Amino acid sequence: MKGEAMIELRNVSRQFGDITAVDNLSLRIEKGEICVFIGTSGCGKSTTLRLLNKLIDCSSGEIWVDGENVAKLDSELLRRRMGYAIQSTGLFPHWTVARNIGVVPRLLGWPADKIEARVRELLELLSLPYTAFAAKFPSQLSGGQAQRVGVARALAADPDILLMDEPFGALDPITRESLQNELLRIQAHIHKTIVFVTHDIDEALRLASRIVVMDKGRVVQYDTPQNLLNNPANSFVENLLGQGERGLKRASLQRVEQFMLPLSGEPPSLDIETGSSLRQALSLMLWHRVDQLCVRGPDSSAQGVLPISAVLHSHE
């Protein structure tokens, strides 16, 4: 077995009357992963998250978190160890941003100065300057700012696990992309185990270390974004990926420096930065009608050359 399981579901089912929302789910989520659940509306994603933090109980099966069976844990205490961010943010409208973020630390009895320092740290982490935002009320925030506050609140007591249920679902595409980048940037520092629900395949491919594709309460495929694109388990997954778009989706996961060749002679006149995706490289080539790019590092030094043939053979 590789890695260490932070969360493990063993044959978990949850019924609501006649409806089986979650159907015999077994899954291991390793420490430090971003595990993204994706599937059509009603397939059981939110129910799974609510089972994890015991907002609801399993009808059968077991959930283990960090080596403990959650059935044996107090649900309030468990919830304080897991941050929870949702689409509607759930911020208290008559509380300031600072008070909203500090809600769990207050419940945990932290002293006031420690709470204030933590709120300050989190606001800065989420690119919301403390002096401008701490005293604002939720109604004074844009959708993107409110979601950032929701994420800050979920992180407030430094939980090991972060549960996120379509947190960016209501945002416009540009704000959504900047919050996705923000989440990846933050995760590189905090290394939480993140369980993230979305119905947007591009969001899933972008954020996930592993993706759980769900349909009718069951796991259809559990794999890395690369493997999902290269080997979709069945036509349901193929459709989810959008067959005609697969090439571009895969190219957006691959970095130019993985495929560039050593420079020989004059570098090509058109540049692309390291860290850019093959999709961006392809788009530049199409736009400028060139068949090779010079890959340059952050210091502008030429690192290599990316010919279109390297892009075409990138899946091998």
Ligand X SMILES: Nc1ncnc2c1ncn2[C@@H]1O[C@H](COP(=O)(O)OP(=O)(O)O)[C@@H](O)[C@H]1O
Q: Give the residues lining the site for ligand X (CB under 6 A).
A: 16, 19, 21, 39, 41-47
The CA-based diameter of the chain, rounded to the nearest angstrom, is: 71
Q: Is residue 96 a contact residue for Mg ion (CB under 5 A)?
A: no
36/122 with CB nearer ligand X: 36
By a kind-dependent CB cut-off of 5 to 8 A, residue 12 interacts, out of ligand X, Mg ion, none, with: none
Report the nearest approach of ligand X to the CB of residue 39 (Å). 6
Give the bridge partners for 272, in sequence order: 295
Which tokens sit at 165? 């249920």
46/193 with CB nearer Mg ion: 46
Give the integer Cα–Cα distance in Å for 35 and 210.
Answer: 5
**What b/e sequence results for 220-239 when a residue is b if at least 16 CB atoms lie within 10 Å of its CB, and e otherwise?**
bbbbebeebbeebeeebbee
Report the nearest approach of ligand X to the CB of residue 42 (Å). 4
Report the nearest approach of Mg ion to the CB of residue 20 (Å). 16
By a kind-dependent CB cut-off of 5 to 8 A, residue 102 interacts, out of ligand X, Mg ion, none, with: none
In terms of C-beta density within 10 A (0-12 exposed, 13-18 middle, 19 or more buried), how is residue 289 classed?
Answer: exposed
The count of other CB atoms within 10 Å of the CB of residue 61 is 17
By a kind-dependent CB cut-off of 5 to 8 A, residue 314 interacts, out of ligand X, Mg ion, none, with: none
By a kind-dependent CB cut-off of 5 to 8 A, residue 19 interacts, out of Mg ion, ligand X, none, with: ligand X
Unique residue bearing structure tokens 């530049």 = 284
40/181 with CB nearer ligand X: 40
Half-sphere exposure of 236 (CA within 13 A, CB side): 14
C-beta nearest to Mg ion: residue: 46
46/53 with CB nearer Mg ion: 46
42/275 with CB nearer ligand X: 42
Spatial CB neighbours of 66, under 8 Å, sequence gap ≥ 6: 6, 160
By a kind-dependent CB cut-off of 5 to 8 A, residue 43 interacts, out of ligand X, Mg ion, none, with: ligand X
41/235 with CB nearer ligand X: 41
Give the integer Cα–Cα distance in Å for 103 and 88.
Answer: 17
By a kind-dependent CB cut-off of 5 to 8 A, residue 240 interacts, out of Mg ion, ligand X, none, with: none
99/199 with CB nearer Mg ion: 199
CA 140 to each of CA 20, 93, 94, 131, 225: distance values in angstroms, whole numbers, following the listed order: 40, 10, 11, 14, 37
Give the integer Cα–Cα distance in Å for 187 and 164.
Answer: 13
By a kind-dependent CB cut-off of 5 to 8 A, residue 92 interacts, out of ligand X, Mg ion, none, with: none
Per-residue binder mask for Mg ion (CB under 5 A), 13-52, x = binder? ---------------------------------x------
Which tokens sit at 98? 């600072």
Report the nearest approach of ligand X to the CB of residue 18 (Å). 10
Q: Which residues bind Mg ion (CB under 5 A)?
A: 46
